[in-house]
């Protein structure tokens, strides 16, 4: 999509394409480097929570899980794999660094029964609800 040509006093004609490119180039140069933060999904089921986290490029040794009360904490580090040869690279959008995600669940979980699996860069954590957190339906009798 081509933008119209704009005249700026004291300068030659400049296209809107060029203005947009200049804007994004200067903005990108001033931007703070982003930090890696895994994307999460939390699903509540009747007796447990399922938490999935996307951890592309990581291995089991690169992260840790902890449960305290009703808070699941995922922490680790995605390390940069740079080499001395950088020829041909124009820019990179890959992010690296330490991360920490704390997920507060609405009820306490049975941490001693929690389990986790890691396959193809996706971590799946199963957190059974504590017995005290489970809903117990009380039948009502008509008197």
| CATH class of the domain at 40-80+95-133 | mainly beta
Tens-place pLDDT, residues 68-114: 989 999 999 988 766 555 667 776 677 778 999 999 999 999 999 99
Three-state secondary-structure class, residue 76: strand
- How many CB atoms lie under 10 A from the CB of residue 23? 10
Structure tokens at 87: 């020829």
Look at the block and give the residue holding tokens 């902890």.
Answer: 66
Residue 142 has pLDDT above 60, yes or no: yes
Mean pLDDT for all residues in the chain: 80
User: What is the rounded distance in angstroms from the CA atom of residue 63 to the CA atom of residue 40?
Assistant: 15
- pLDDT given for residue 79 in this prediction: 80
**Percent of the chain topping pLDDT 90:** 47
- How many CB atoms lie under 10 A from the CB of residue 99? 20
Exposed/middle/buried for residue 76 (C-beta within 10 Å: 0-12, 13-18, 19+): buried
Three-state secondary-structure class, residue 92: coil
Q: Counting every residue, how long is the chain?
A: 143
Query: Do residues 105 and 72 touch, judged by C-beta distance below 8 A?
Result: yes
């Amino acid at each position: 999509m081509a933008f119209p040509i704009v005249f700026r006093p004291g300068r030659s004609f400049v296209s809107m394409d060029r203005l947009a490119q200049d804007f994004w180039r200067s903005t990108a140069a001033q931007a703070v480097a982003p930090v890696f933060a895994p994307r999460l999904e939390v699903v509540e089921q009747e007796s447990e929570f399922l938490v999935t986290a996307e951890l592309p490029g990581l291995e089991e040794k690169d992260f840790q899980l902890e449960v305290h009360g009703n808070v699941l904490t995922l922490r680790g580090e995605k390390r940069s794999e740079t080499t001395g040869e950088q020829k041909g690279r124009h820019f990179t959008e890959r992010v690296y660094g330490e991360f920490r995600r704390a997920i507060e669940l609405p009820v306490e979980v049975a941490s001693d029964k929690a389990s986790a699996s890691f396959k193809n860069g996706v971590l799946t954590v199963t957190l059974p609800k504590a017995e005290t957190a489970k809903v117990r339906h009380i039948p009502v009798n008509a008197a």
